[in-house]
């Protein structure tokens, strides 16, 4: 009721706090990262895991969903690496970097053969050399408390610093794969990507892991796209069916820069992706598309906060959710237009297809507008499969299951088609088809 009441912390929250204290004690006592970690640890101890009373987490009560604090995963042994290597989705022509259980595995990675203009440094090496990109970590954090990000920062220990040099066009996509194998544990990854002025790059993140193990994966990334630069981003989340997946993306989009992102969410028992995007340069273009394919009792949450700070920017969001069985999809999208951001053009759409009788979709598209010369809109729909369309197809001799699969593919296809790299798009479509097949079987 009142602010000075001390909330009761769950066992998981207490265990997390003591685990943070333990890792902090073992880490170096000073340096920029150490300060950042300590600050995050403090906010976590104060605020704990977010509950449904925290507006941004209204539909994903992490305190109720994250009952257990798992030990941090150790470095994988050779057998685990071999096992994990098989689980990495192949993206044709992509340069690959693989993390197994949160640890960078050089033997599975193409670190030695990076294309010109692309620099990838491990967090460890960066800390040793005092890489200037380290300053980017924590620089784009949202003002409001985000429990998942606080945990990620407090446990910060592994990750990548990626730089695309000014003016460089890196044709080959960079694929950062996270694979989990072995017994239940928690992993934390923190990456930074800086695409300098006028540069172009494609970044793919993929997440996969063992089935039947309730592991926890928490990743976060700062993305800075410079003036006139372009970053194409793809996120493929196919964690094991019992996993908890928490992702935080923070974006700063410069003048006339372009950022396009596509997220496919098909895995994890509970998943949440938060994207905090700021359009800080005039005339920037932002495109966020996503597809959620959820079944059984999966819970998938996608939350966006897009802030238009400078004038003349446009943003487009399109999220397609397919919810089978008792799955629950959540979409929260907030477009903020600051007073200076005149001539903003924002469009947000979330569409859900409810296949299961007990499926649930919660939509919360928000507009917060302080400038008058803008065109902003959002839409949200939820409904079952169109019976007329089904009838039309079945009347033409297409079996029911096949007709349904075709319609789902068409529904989701509207979002996938924004992936410009053809090879990457084909791979994503293949993953979706695999999901449909697995569901039919």
Partner 1 sequence: MAAVQETVERVRSVDVDQYKYGFTTDIESEKAPKGLNEDIIRFISAKKNEPEWMLEWRLDAYKRWLTMTEPTWARVNYPQVDFQDLYYYAAPKQKEGPKSIDDIDPEILKTYEKLGIPLRERDILLGIQSKDEEQAKAVEENIDAVGYTGTKVAVDAVFDSVSVATTFKEELGKAGVIFCSISEAMREHPDLVRQYLGSVVPVTDNFYATLNSAVFSDGSFVYIPKGVRCPMELSTYFRINEKNTGQFERTLIIADEGSYVSYLEGCTAPQRDENQLHAAVVELVAMKDAEIKYSTVQNWYPGDAEGKGGIYNFVTKRGDCRGENSKISWTQVETGSAVTWKYPSCILRGDNSRGEFYSIAISNGYQQVDSGTKMIHLGKNTTSRIISKGIAAGRSDNTYRGQVSAHKKAAGARNFTCCDSLLIGNKCGAHTVPYIESKNASAVFEHEATTSKISDDQLFYCMQRGLSEEEAVALIVNGFVRDVLQQLPMEFAVEAQKLISVSLEGSVG
Q: Quick one: how far is CA 302 from the chain centroid? A: 8
Q: Which helix (H) or strand (E) holds 38?
A: helix 32-47
Residue 409 in the binding site for partner 1 (CB under 8 A) = no
Binding segment for partner 1 (CB under 8 A), chosen from 61-69, 165-173, 203-211, 351-359, is 351-359
By CB under 8 A, is residue 144 in contact with partner 1? no
**Strand blocks (E) in 142-210:** 160-164, 174-180, 186-195, 200-209
d(Cα 221, Cα 261) in Å, to the nearest integer? 13
Using DSSP's 3-state secondary structure scheme, residue 268 falls into coil
Q: Does 389 bind partner 1 (CB under 8 A)?
A: no
Q: Rounded to the nearest whole angstrom, what is the least distance from the CB of residue 386 to partner 1 in the complex?
A: 10
Q: Which is nearer to partner 1, 83 or 326 (CB)?
A: 326
Q: Kindly state whether residue 200 participates in binding partner 1, applying the rule CB under 8 A.
A: no
CB of 90 to partner 1, least distance (A): 35
Contact in structure between 176 and 204 (CB atoms under 8 Å) = yes
Span of 305-313, 355-363, 394-402, 414-422 interacting with partner 1 by CB under 8 A: 355-363
Query: Can residue 4 be called a binding residue for partner 1 (CB under 8 A)?
Result: no
Q: Give the DSSP letter string of 108-147.
A: GS-GGGPPTTEEEEEHHHHHHHT-GGGGGTTTT--SS--H
Q: Does 92 bind partner 1 (CB under 8 A)?
A: no
User: What is the H or E stretch that residue 57 is in?
Assistant: none
Q: What is the DSSP track for 220-266?
A: EEEEEE-TT-EEEEEEEEE--TT-EEEEEEEEEE-TT-EEEEEEEE-
Among 115, 287, 312, 356, binds partner 1 (CB under 8 A): 356
List the one residue from 14, 43, 51, 342 that touches partner 1 (CB under 8 A): 342
Using rule CB under 8 A, residue 27 touches partner 1: no
For partner 1, give the closer residue by CB, 89 or 374.
374
Query: What does the block give as tokens for 190?
Result: 């923190």
Nearest to 244 by CA among 68, 21, 12, 23: 68
43 binds partner 1 per the rule CB under 8 A: no
Decide if residue 381 touches partner 1 (CB under 8 A): yes
Closer to partner 1 by CB, 97 or 327: give it. Answer: 327
Judged by CB under 8 A, the residue of 20, 105, 361, 412 near partner 1 is 361
Considering only residues 46 through 65, tell me which ones interact with partner 1, judged by CB under 8 A.
Answer: 55
368 scored as a contact of partner 1 (CB under 8 A): yes
Select the residue interacting with partner 1 from 175, 378, 431, 439 (CB under 8 A): 378
Q: Is the separation of the CB atoms in 412 and 291 below 8 Å?
A: yes
Q: Which residues bind partner 1 (CB under 8 A)?
A: 1-2, 55, 339, 342, 352, 354-384
């Amino acid at each position: 009721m009142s602010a000075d009441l001390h909330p009761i912390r769950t066992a998981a929250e207490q265990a997390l706090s003591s685990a943070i204290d333990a890792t902090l004690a073992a880490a170096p006592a000073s340096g920029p990262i150490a300060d950042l970690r300590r600050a995050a640890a403090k906010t976590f101890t104060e605020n704990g895991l977010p509950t449904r009373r925290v507006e941004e987490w209204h539909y994903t009560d992490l305190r109720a969903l994250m009952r257990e604090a798992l030990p941090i995963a150790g470095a994988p042994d050779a057998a685990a690496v071999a096992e994990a290597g098989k689980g990495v989705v192949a993206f044709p022509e992509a340069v690959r970097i693989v993390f197994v259980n949160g640890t960078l595995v050089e033997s599975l990675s193409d670190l030695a053969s990076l294309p010109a203009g692309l620099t990838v440094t491990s967090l460890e090496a960066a800390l040793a050399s005092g890489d200037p990109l380290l300053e980017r970590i924590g620089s784009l954090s949202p003002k409001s408390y985000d429990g998942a990000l606080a945990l990620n920062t407090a446990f910060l220990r592994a990750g990548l610093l990626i730089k695309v040099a000014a003016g460089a066009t890196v044709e080959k996509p960079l694929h950062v794969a996270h694979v989990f194998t072995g017994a239940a544990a928690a992993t934390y990854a923190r990456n930074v990507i800086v695409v300098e002025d006028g540069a172009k790059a494609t970044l793919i993140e993929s997440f996969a892991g063992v089935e039947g193990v309730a592991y926890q994966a928490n990743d976060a990334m700062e993305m800075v796209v410079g003036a006139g630069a372009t970053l194409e981003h793809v996120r493929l989340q196919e964690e094991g069916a019992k996993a908890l997946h928490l992702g935080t993306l923070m974006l700063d989009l410069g003048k006339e820069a372009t950022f396009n992102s596509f997220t496919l969410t098909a895995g994890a028992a509970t998943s949440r992706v938060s994207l905090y995007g700021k359009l800080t340069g005039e005339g920037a273009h932002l495109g966020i598309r996503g597809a959620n394919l959820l079944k059984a009792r999966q819970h998938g949450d996608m939350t966006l906060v897009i802030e238009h700070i400078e004038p003349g920017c446009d943003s487009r969001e399109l999220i397609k959710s397919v919810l089978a069985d008792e799955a629950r999809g959540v979409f929260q999208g907030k477009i903020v237009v600051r007073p200076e951001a005149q001539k903003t053009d924002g469009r947000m759409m979330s569409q859900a297809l409810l296949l299961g009788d007990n499926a649930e979709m919660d939509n919360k598209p928000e507009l917060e507008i302080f400038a008058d010369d803008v065109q902003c809109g959002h839409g949200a729909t939820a409904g079952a499969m169109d019976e007329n369309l089904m009838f039309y197809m079945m009347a033409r001799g297409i079996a029911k299951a096949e007709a349904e699969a075709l319609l789902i593919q068409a529904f989701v296809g509207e979002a996938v088609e924004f992936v410009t790299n053809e090879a990457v798009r084909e791979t994503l479509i293949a993953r979706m088809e695999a999901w449909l097949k697995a569901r039919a079987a």
